[in-house]
A = this chain, B = another copy of it.
Amino acid sequence: MVVDQRFGLTDEEVDRIFHALADATRRDILRRSLEAPLSVSELAAFYDMSFAAVQKHVAVLEGAGLVTKEPDGRKRLVHGNPETLAKAQALMEEYEAIWRSRVERLEALLSEDR
């Protein structure tokens, strides 16, 4: 099952967050929607691919909780969600902390016998 449930996130949720971030187009969509909410078709205009493809990328980001879609007439405004971003950051800081604590243990060992 692989332990990884910190921050109230299941493995599957963390999988989805990092998978969503593992594509340059999706990262660009996330950046733009963090700057200001945009409709899906406004987003689609930026990329050299079909509307449906962009729609799928937005769906992946939405499934990861990185963006939300707010109905606005016939449009859906895509908003970036900084909360999920913060959770992912916290996750990565955990890894850094693990490494740092290892360095500290090694330093403690070294200072022990001097």
Residues of A within 8 A of B (CB): 2-4, 11, 14-19, 21-25, 27-28, 30-31, 34-36, 47, 80, 82, 85-86, 88-89, 92-93, 95-96, 98-99, 102
Contact = CB atoms under 8 A, between A and B. Distances in A.
Contacts of A27: 2, 4, 14
A23 B18 CA distance: 8
Per CB-CB distance, the 3 closest pairs between chain A and chain B, nearest first, are A18-B22, A19-B22, A11-B24
A1 B46 CA distance: 11
Query: Interface of chain A, helix or strand or loop or mixed?
Result: helix
The quantity of this chain's copies bound in the complex is 2
A18 B91 CA distance: 13
A19 to B, nearest CB: 4
A83 B65 CA distance: 27
16 contacts: A2-B28, A3-B28, A4-B27, A14-B24, A15-B23, A17-B22, A18-B21, A21-B22, A22-B22, A30-B95, A31-B98, A34-B95, A35-B102, A80-B99, A82-B95, A85-B92
A102 to B, nearest CB: 6
